[in-house]
Amino acid sequence: MCGRYAASANPDELIEAFEVEIDGTGEPTRSVLANPQDPPAGTPDYNMAPSKQAPVVLQRRPRGGRGAAGEEQSEPAATAQEPVRQLRLLSWGLVPSWAKDPGIGMRMINARTESLLDKGAFAKPARSRRCLVPARGWYEWQASPVTTDRRGKPRKQPFFVARADEELLAFAGLYEFWRDPAAEPGSSEAWLTTFTILTGPAEPGLDRIHDRQPVVLDRDRWADWLDPELQDESAVQALLSDHRPGRFTAWPVRPEVNATRNNGPRLIEPVPVEELDGTVDPTTGEIVGGNPA
């Protein structure tokens, strides 16, 4: 699964990297958080967690009715334009349009590629509301085969996974709109726009950390994935498969990342080997630190 990642780029970097035409990160949007987001939404965040608002790239036609991020607009549908690539702040945890309570989003932070088109909450957005979630990399926790914690359970070592070429990566995602019937029409609270990150089986090496990983799309697939006109199910599934192996590198980081209140670039700094305890090297499979016996 993917339950934490680093979104360390600022909007200007994302606009350039993803060839964004409309920057909507400054527009008022509804959040599911009870308290102000820290760091503020749209600024570098090295500990992005579910329910936070995160920068997401999507492609929609600016037209009447619901806008690019769910807001009410007055432009007549007859003036519909071509789809425009946009950068928006969306809440992590997909809330289906039919949901009675937006709290359901906390159970939908990920969508499995294997059953994507069979699930009611994901099938429709998979056909026409696909997005890219920019990230520096993601965190995953490895259960030690030899070392236990104070409760007698396998010790969990956090890892950070990034592209080996040090480029920004793009998770395959889906987004959805939820209309709050109790909100005043036309207000920024009327629409909640949310997203989920797709996951699949972990590739060799990374499977020594966890058995699943987020789906990362290479640049040559971005345009097709974002295209709302591409609705053929087999074509959508094809974009999620047959990725080149060996794109990623992973290293252990300090458990400071376990607490969402912690943030900053120090979270992705490698842990010295002498601090490891029963950690499996994802490249070699060797156990580092601890007592294998």
Q: Which residues fall within 8 angstroms of residue 62, CB to CB, at 6 or more apart? A: 22, 68, 73, 75, 80, 81, 84
pLDDT at 185: 86
122-153 pLDDT per residue, tens = 999 999 999 999 999 999 999 999 999 999 99
* Predicted confidence (pLDDT) at residue 48 exceeds the cutoff of 90: yes
- Going 181 to 183 to 188 to 189, the CA torsion angle's sign is negative
pLDDT at 110: 97
Percent of the chain whose pLDDT exceeds 70: 92
199-212 pLDDT per residue, tens = 999 999 999 999 99
Return the SS3 of 108: coil
Q: How wide is the angle at C-alpha 175 spanned by C-alphas 13 and 17, nearest 5°?
A: 15
What number of residues does the chain have? 293
What number of CA atoms fall less than 13 Å from residue 281's CA on the CB side?
A: 9
Greater model confidence, 119 or 197? 197
* Predicted confidence (pLDDT) at residue 67 exceeds the cutoff of 50: no
166 burial (CB, 10 Å; 0-12 / 13-18 / 19+) is exposed
Q: What are the backbone angles phi and psi of residue 7, rounded to the nearest 5°? A: -110, 80
Confidence of residue 80 (pLDDT cuts 50, 70, 90): low
pLDDT at 162: 98
Domains belonging to the chain, first-starting first, are 5-142+160-247 (3.90.1680.10)
Q: What are the backbone angles phi and psi of residue 52, rounded to the nearest 5°? A: -70, 155
Average pLDDT for 68-80? 43
pTM of the entire structure?
A: 0.93
Nearest alpha carbon to residue 215 among 190, 194, 236, 189: 236
149-194 pLDDT per residue, tens = 999 999 999 999 999 999 999 999 999 999 999 888 888 899 999 9
pLDDT at 9: 96
